[in-house]
Amino acid sequence: MTIYTKALAAATAAAIIAAAAPALAQSKGDMTIGIGVHNVNPQGSSNTAAGSISVGTSTRPTLTFEYFVADKIGIEVLGAWPFEHNIKLAGAGTVGKTKHLPPVISIQYHFVNQSKITPFIGLGVNYTTFFDDVGTGALAGVPLSLGDSWGLAAHAGVDLKISDAGSLRFDMRYIDIGTDVKVGGANIGKVDIDPLVVGMAYVHRF
């Protein structure tokens, strides 16, 4: 084999490996961990026995873990530092505060291609638990309680490859969250929170 042939063979092999690298980044058995920050922006509001209630926004650190059960297909778990929201009653301003944890489990499909940008979509289920509910303002000293919620969650985003194992992720989720609200022990109705969750993260593949 001539030097030219060897060089051509080496170059061809290198090109094949380089072209395959993006596709191999989402292979069966791969795992990723993502560390980021996300903003929960509630889109819903509800008319209750007390009046129209809305929930404010909150931004917190987030953590994801994804395991690829097949090439391009992963199961992801989302966790976060507890989000804290103000609760507003029309005409009365802020009347309460609450914290919540919204873990989500999703199945996701990654559109792996030969570029450094990998879009993905996902669909999953969310369980939201509320705690540290406190009445403020007009409801200061009045017991306030928000019930836990189950709902569907949709996820979409892109991963921008910055190294062999690392990517920057920009993503958005829609989560179906509705909670039964009690004031002074009496159920005043259901409040639809239904947030858009938007943020970015560093994702590392193992």
- pLDDT band per the 50, 70, 90 thresholds, residue 25: low
Q: For the segment 71-127, what is each residue's pLDDT rounded down to a tens digit?
A: 999 999 999 999 999 999 998 999 999 999 999 999 999 998 888 999 999 999 999
Q: Which of 188, 189, 193, 190 is nearest to 173 (CA)?
A: 193
Please report, for the chain, the start and end positions of each structural domain, with discontinuous segments joined by +: 3-205
Q: Is the pLDDT of residue 2 over 80?
A: no
Supply the pTM of this predicted model: 0.82
Q: Which CATH class is domain 3-205?
A: mainly beta
Q: How far, in Å, CA of 177 to CA of 149, rounded? A: 6
